Amino acid sequence: MKKRLPENTGYTGYTIFIRDLIVRTKVGITTPEQENSQRIIINIQLEIRSSTPDGPRKHDEVVCYAIIVRKIRALLLKNHINLLETVAEQISNTCFEDKRVARVLVRVEKPDIFTDCAGVGVEIKRDREQIRITEKNSEKRETKSNPYEHKQTSD
């Protein structure tokens, strides 16, 4: 069951979408995918929380899709990534850098893998609360010692 916001909280929101962003990048586990860039198609839907009852009215009050697109392009041009799932997670994390983003849906497709289908890919849905829980859990794990970690001793 979805949580509903209480009435009259001043909550307003809006959705930003980025549709069919095409980026050439190196992604995949096969040798040709590791050696050659390929097209991927990215679709993103971001649910934005706004603190103003009437919604944003000025440019600096909105989440800027141009900044998100620029960051995604830069992210995908850095290094080879093995899995589309990793690409989707990294895009999601990039979107959550803006604290106003409440939820994100990311779809990443490879359109040129098979000749008999339009594309193959992955879609993930994340919300800020999931991110907070994950961050808290990884902080707890980091404070525990790792039994597989070897400490160097000096001779």
Q: What pLDDT shows up at residue 151? A: 45
Structure confidence at residue 6 (pLDDT):
46
Average pLDDT over residues 131-141: 59
| Dihedral over Cα of 75, 81, 86, 88: its sign | positive
Distance CA(114)–CA(95), nearest Å, equals 30
pLDDT tens per residue across span 91-135? 999 999 999 999 999 999 999 999 999 999 999 999 998 776 556
Question: CATH number for the 12-142 domain, one of 3.50.50.60, 3.30.200.20, 3.30.450.20, 3.30.1130.10?
Answer: 3.30.1130.10
Please, what's the b/e burial string for 14-39 (b: 16 or more CB within 10 A of its CB; e: otherwise)? Answer: eebebeebebebbbbeeeebeeeebe
Helices (H), 16-127: 31-35, 65-78, 84-95
Nearest-CA neighbor of 62 among 75, 78, 51? 51
33-89: pLDDT as tens digits: 999 999 999 999 999 987 666 666 677 778 899 999 999 999 999 889 999 999 999
pTM: 0.76
Say what the pLDDT of residue 146 is: 46
Predicted confidence at residue 152, as pLDDT, reads: 45
* Domain ranges, ordered by start, for the chain: 12-142
**Gap between the Cα atoms of 142 and 140, Å rounded:** 5
pLDDT at residue 134, rounded to an integer = 59
Residue 137 to residue 134: CA distance in whole angstroms: 5
